[in-house]
Amino acid sequence: MTSARVEESLDGNICRCTGYRPILDAFKSQSVDADEQLKCRLVDIEEVYKGHCKKKKGSGCGGCCKDMKKGVALTSEQTISTEMGQWYRPTSLIRVYSILKNLRTAEKFRIAVGNTGQGVFKNDGPYSVYISTVGIKELYSTRVGSTSAPVVLGANVSLTRAIEVFRDAALESPGAFAHLDVIANHWQFVANVSVRNIGSWAGNLMMKHSHRGFQSDIYITLLAAGAELTLGHAADASNSYINLEQFLVADMSRSIILSVSLPPALPNTKFRTFKVTPRAVNAHAYVNACFRMEVDIENDYKVTSKPIILFGGINPSFIHAANTEEFLIGRKLNDNATIVEAAKILGSEVKPDNHPQDASPKYRAQLAQALLFKAVIGFLDKVVGVRVRSAGPIIERPLSSGKQSFDMKKEIWPVGEPIPKLESATQISGEATYLDDVPYLPNELHAALVLTTQANAKIKFVDATEALVFVEERCLYAGQPVGLVVAEDRNAAIRAAKLVKVEYEDIQRPILTIKEAIKSGRVKVGQNVESFKAGTSSQGDVEEAMKTVPHKVRGELSQGTQYHFHMEALAARVIPTEEGYDVFSTSQWITETQSATAQVLNVPANSINVSVRRLGGAYGSKISRQNLVSTAAAVAARKIQRPVRLVVDLNTNMTCAGWREPYYSKYEVGFDDSGKLLALKVELYSDVGHVPNEPSVGILVNVLQNVYYIPNLDVTPHIVTTDTAANTWCRSPGHVNAVATIENVIEHVASYLRKDKLEIRMLNMVPANVPRLYCPAVERNVVKEDIIPLLKVKAAYHERMIEVEQYNQDNRWKKRGLSILPARYTYIYLPEWAYRVQVTIYQHDGTVAISHGGVEMGQGINTKVAQVAAYVLGVPLNQVKIKATETMIGANSYVTGAFLGSDLCTHGVKVACTALHQRLEEVKTRMKADTRKEPTWQELVKKCHSDHVDLSEQYWTAAKEHPQSYEVWSACCLEIEIDILTGMYMIRRADIIQDCGRSMNPFIDVGQVEGAFLMGIGLFTTELVKYDPATGQKLSNGTWEYKPPTALDMPADLRVTLLPNTMQPKGVLGSKATGEPPFCLSYSVVTALRHAITAFRTENGDDSWFEMDVPLTVDKVHQLCGINPDHHFKLE
């Protein structure tokens, strides 16, 4: 397999933790064309498996090497009765027909080939009969075709196999089937590799048959190819042949698709297809389109017959752009007037429908016109000049690459040693145990939440006698848990929960956005945590300064929410015990889970034991929202006095719990001719959901100043409430929004003065030792002095800026943007941040066990803790084990978050181990004096034990011995390319320099930087949430609608440097936290996009400032470019 295939194969995987680069590197290391450095980093897993074979030379293997690939070949028919219905697995078509003939009139059947359709339309059915046709050989037949014979695919042929057949046909008969290569390219972007490998083209067509609004890529491409279907009819086992338009209205109630045939095309056929999506891969189209025209090239590209112009994603009945097709007959494509007129006609016949979950009708209509232009320019190709030719191609993504550089100073290894996370082997092999992996106890029950479907309404009636009702009055948001159903198995609980009916009355229109909330007066001034005062925090005198500033501008910025997208759902198991309850919880904060459970059950805290082995990601979602689930399970466990397990599914998780707070900021900034900021007034509004739980707006005065000095500053925090789930902290909470706000201000100033943005940034850098509002004065502005100079060199900033400007001049329809963005993050140890740690050395063999109050959630806290213990005690790392976090040893520990857990737990372990080390050293000195030789570690430990020296040490990491705060500095240089006609974009390269002091573990820290950065890219680009305006239901509540970045959305070239030669004198062993600060750098994607969009707008005579609310989805980018077909669709 090549590296390119590896990359394509990861188009369906979502990873929040890593930023994908290490995953890609690991797989690419096994590819045939892998980089030599990568190749030596990993052993092929198949080699590992061979290495473990117990076979001795000359003897049999004994079974460990059994070829797992050989599945059980089913050749005979199988029938199974299930709760869902009857399942058949026939081996002939005749048998399928007889099953269908025996169905009663009202009975519905479902054919299961890949059965992937259920992932899209989850609520289809119910069906009484399921027929798996995978045993019917003839449905897998394929024929490659020739100049006189069509390509044929059996109905069960997978999309992957079909792509291969299309490519073979195009290769063998390019004159007849070149268009199938175009279709193959299009299908490569359908779903993801796992769906394409098992999903059939026929299954896809049937989904279109039942759901006319489905923007099926398979349907429009096959229609454009002039495909003909063969249907088989159960009534008389006959066949019929229909085209795809007839298929949509065909009665398929007792018929099945047998095959499709695709005829050869005429040699003068031009064929293009498009799929415009919210992210690079694994997303359904906003709009998809096919253009097929027979043209006479010699005669100015005259269209010689009726062309085919098809669109999906417009409205359920719109497929053919019939008027445009009619208009183009006999027209010359090489005539500007033809294109402009055709776009006008198309604009008048495309009437997109308007659903809240879709992109705006305006965008979809304009996109249809843009795609027509794109197709025609592609057909004309070299006939048009290079600048205009840039309209034709889509953005090609190169094979991605990553580079990481960091210091490798060995003096305190294993602290600072780049080693994989201790749990990584068990995690990748699937042996690491998460909450729901624990086998069920014999009497364990399963619970499922009942959720409301309406926001801001009174609950009139709940029809569920068995449900435990939580809400009796008003429901505050759609998705609020209203009850809990407990059953013997999970499926029964989930099904029963769905049957509970909730009736509503006094339904009020829900308030869903900050601007609506402000209008309705649901806003109050927030409190600043630094001053403990509500209202404005000030430095200097803004009002006075504003009177004399040479320039003033006002602006605003809206920033959206973000789902944490942790892999492990919110979950809890509560087991009644003789002393109270054992609670196993996906909690980032065991102490709070203990208190919440005790409070809800009204029992003392000492009857609740909370334990967490590890979390499958959290990012803040499991700080407080977790308690929704654990307290619900606790109520049920107490009532029924049996263990209860509640694990929510993705939709429930995304609906019932709040996400990142959306933000809105308004500002007025005053500055001089050079761009120096003189006065700034900012109003920050945070949407906390229906109730403020942990609003972040009060901690942002410091953050908002980022790396800049603003002599006169007013910052006013506001909290608004909306009829949505209570929001919560999410990686870099509020910080990222404050950094975005000030960076937006800087961009605004630069735009107003028409000056270089980096120049304005550098001009306003805070000097050393200058105090700022709630910001400790810095000894050195590390971004200014060290990071940006280094970044300019590493990223070849000046050279690339010249290249970008040149590229933008040379290309009318593709634009690039390049931007450097600095960030500073202050870590403040508030007194409540404290953890309990315990280190124990076992006398038996000298091994070490540690338990600490922090929670391992993928951030590597356990590895860093073990590294520190091994270093201080002077034992090998493999002698140290970290135990689960629980409320006995980790009693009263604070939340693990903001990376402070890693900082403080490693600190606690260092102190505890130092104390142990000192005790052991005293004994060692005595032993050496007695025996005149150095005792081994084990001898020393045994001696300590026999001398009654305590081999355990615990520590409470109260803040006393810490610095109050420290600064983390970083900067990023990011380059982006936009396809103006579609709005789609690709991050070409990102260079990040991150200060993390003397890294405790560069592998982990680089991973944190990459993961945080990509999560931020998602926040600012693809991750858009939509609500139903009438009910307040979250429409983006699954992977079909909500789009975190994939491996193919990450920067094509990602280079991370941990700032060399830094040592944080105040931190633990010289290190600094890395989990959150790099998140803020991701706003560079927005500033780079602004550069690219501005290039297009300026070329069209508008270089004024424009607001850019985030996330900047593909449709928004397109709309900001403001294409006007009449003026812009030019051939020259």
Ligand X SMILES: Cc1cc2nc3c(=O)[nH]c(=O)nc-3n(C[C@H](O)[C@H](O)[C@H](O)COP(=O)(O)OP(=O)(O)OC[C@H]3O[C@@H](n4cnc5c(N)ncnc54)[C@H](O)[C@@H]3O)c2cc1C
Q: Which residues are catalytic?
A: 1076
Compare residues 199 and 1125 and give the one whose CB is closer to ligand X. 199
Residue 134 Cβ, how far from ligand X at the closest point, in Å? 9
Length of the chain measured in residues: 1132
Q: Binding ligand X by CB under 6 A: which of 112, 380, 850, 895?
A: 112
Structural tokens at position 436: 């729901």
Residue 393 Cβ, how far from ligand X at the closest point, in Å? 21
Q: What are phi and psi of 970, to 5 degrees?
A: -165, 165
Distance CA 707, CA 781 (A): 8
Amino acid at 129: V
Structural tokens at position 911: 């102190």
Across 747-830, the runs of DSSP E, i.e. the strands, are 814-828
User: Which residues ranging from 1029 to 1068 are in contact with ligand X (CB under 6 A)?
Assistant: none
Residue 860 among known ligand-binding residues: no
Across 72-218, the runs of DSSP E, i.e. the strands, are 78-81, 86-89, 109-112, 129-132, 142-143, 151-154
Residue 141 Cβ, how far from ligand X at the closest point, in Å? 13
Distance CA 461, CA 459 (A): 6
CB 397 within 8 A of CB 5: no
State yes or no: residue 540 binds ligand X (CB under 6 A). no
Distance CA 979, CA 986 (A): 9
State yes or no: residue 204 binds ligand X (CB under 6 A). yes
Residue nearest to ligand X (CB): 203
Among candidate residues 511, 500, 512, 517, the one with its CA nearest the CA of residue 459:
500
Compare residues 204 and 721 and give the one whose CB is closer to ligand X. 204
Compare residues 261 and 764 and give the one whose CB is closer to ligand X. 261
Compare residues 118 and 806 and give the one whose CB is closer to ligand X. 118
Size of the site for ligand X (CB under 6 A): 29
Which range of residues in 107-115, 429-437, 440-448, 979-987 is near ligand X by CB under 6 A? 107-115
Amino acid at 442: P
Compare residues 159 and 1058 and give the one whose CB is closer to ligand X. 159
State yes or no: residue 117 binds ligand X (CB under 6 A). yes
Residue 997 among known ligand-binding residues: no
Residue 808 among known ligand-binding residues: no
State yes or no: residue 202 binds ligand X (CB under 6 A). yes
Interaction mask 580-599, ligand X, x per CB under 6 A: --------------------
Interaction mask 143-172, ligand X, x per CB under 6 A: ------------x---x-------------
Residue 1018 among known ligand-binding residues: no
Residue 255 Cβ, how far from ligand X at the closest point, in Å? 7
State yes or no: residue 119 binds ligand X (CB under 6 A). yes
Compare residues 206 and 342 and give the one whose CB is closer to ligand X. 206
Q: What are phi and psi of 451, to 5 degrees?
A: -115, 150
Q: Binding ligand X by CB under 6 A: which of 169, 178, 207, 880?
A: 207
Which long-range CB contacts under 8 A does 346-353 form with residues at least 24 apart?
346/309, 346/321, 346/372, 347/1125, 348/323, 349/321, 349/322, 349/323, 349/324, 350/311, 350/314, 350/318, 350/321, 351/314, 351/315, 351/318, 352/313, 352/314, 352/315, 353/213, 353/314, 353/315, 353/316
Distance CA 28, CA 35 (A): 8
Question: How distant is the alpha carbon of residue 746 from its chain centre?
Answer: 28
Which range of residues in 203-211, 513-521, 763-771, 821-829 is near ligand X by CB under 6 A? 203-211
State yes or no: residue 435 binds ligand X (CB under 6 A). no
Which range of residues in 189-197, 361-369, 371-379, 1087-1095 is near ligand X by CB under 6 A? 189-197
Q: Binding ligand X by CB under 6 A: which of 3, 18, 173, 216?
A: 216
Beta partners for residue 685, in sequence order: 664, 718
Residue 140 Cβ, how far from ligand X at the closest point, in Å? 11
Compare residues 159 and 415 and give the one whose CB is closer to ligand X. 159
1079: phi > 0 → left, psi -120 to 50 → alpha, else beta; which? alpha
State yes or no: residue 1070 binds ligand X (CB under 6 A). no
The helix (run of H) or strand (run of E) holding residue 256 is strand 255-262
Compare residues 185 and 693 and give the one whose CB is closer to ligand X. 185
Structural tokens at position 838: 């315990």
**Rounded to the nearest 10 degrees, what angle do helices 900-931 and 937-946 cross at?**
80
State yes or no: residue 273 binds ligand X (CB under 6 A). no
Q: Binding ligand X by CB under 6 A: which of 284, 800, 836, 989?
A: 284
State yes or no: residue 310 binds ligand X (CB under 6 A). no
Residue 207 Cβ, how far from ligand X at the closest point, in Å? 5
Compare residues 158 and 885 and give the one whose CB is closer to ligand X. 158
Please give, one letter per residue, the 3-state secondary structure of 6-31.
HHHHCCCCCCCCCCCHHHHHHHHCCC
Q: Binding ligand X by CB under 6 A: which of 91, 115, 142, 965?
A: 115
Q: Binding ligand X by CB under 6 A: which of 10, 93, 100, 113?
A: 113
CB 345 within 8 A of CB 307: no
Q: What Cα–Cα distance (Å) separates residue 2 from each residue in 27, 185, 403, 653? A: 10, 18, 19, 38
Residue 17 among known ligand-binding residues: yes
Among candidate residues 981, 967, 920, the one with its CA nearest the CA of residue 1062:
967
The terminus-to-terminus CA distance of the chain in angstroms comes to 43
State yes or no: residue 110 binds ligand X (CB under 6 A). yes
Interaction mask 228-267, ligand X, x per CB under 6 A: ----------------------------xx----------
State yes or no: residue 136 binds ligand X (CB under 6 A). no
DSSP per-residue string spanning 932-993: SSPPPHHHHHHHHHHTT---EEEEE--GGGS-SEEEEEEEEEEEEEEETTT--EEEEEEEEE
Q: Binding ligand X by CB under 6 A: which of 18, 29, 173, 200?
A: 200
Residue 213 Cβ, how far from ligand X at the closest point, in Å? 12
CB 274 within 8 A of CB 371: yes
State yes or no: residue 31 binds ligand X (CB under 6 A). no
Compare residues 217 and 856 and give the one whose CB is closer to ligand X. 217
Q: Binding ligand X by CB under 6 A: which of 169, 170, 184, 218?
A: 218
State yes or no: residue 190 binds ligand X (CB under 6 A). yes
Q: Binding ligand X by CB under 6 A: which of 22, 90, 199, 1070?
A: 199
The helix (run of H) or strand (run of E) holding residue 1039 is none
State yes or no: residue 1080 binds ligand X (CB under 6 A). no
Which range of residues in 104-112, 460-468, 501-509, 1024-1032 is near ligand X by CB under 6 A? 104-112
Residue 159 Cβ, how far from ligand X at the closest point, in Å? 6
The DSSP secondary-structure symbol of 1075 reads S
CB 1032 within 8 A of CB 447: no
CB 1041 within 8 A of CB 358: no
CB-based burial label for 60 (10 Å; 0-12, 13-18, 19+)? exposed
Residue 223 Cβ, how far from ligand X at the closest point, in Å? 12
Q: What Cα–Cα distance (Å) separates residue 646 from each residue in 133, 436, 448, 581, 1034? A: 36, 9, 6, 15, 22
Distance CA 1064, CA 791 (A): 21
Residue 112 Cβ, how far from ligand X at the closest point, in Å? 5
State yes or no: residue 775 binds ligand X (CB under 6 A). no
Q: Binding ligand X by CB under 6 A: which of 206, 746, 1052, 1085?
A: 206
Residue 116 Cβ, how far from ligand X at the closest point, in Å? 3
State yes or no: residue 191 binds ligand X (CB under 6 A). yes
Residue stretches of the annotated binding site for Mo-molybdopterin: 588, 731, 898
Interface residues with ligand X (CB under 6 A)?
Answer: 110-120, 155, 159, 190-191, 195, 199-200, 202-204, 206-207, 216-218, 256-257, 284
Residue stretches of the annotated binding site: 15, 17, 200-204, 275, 588, 731, 898
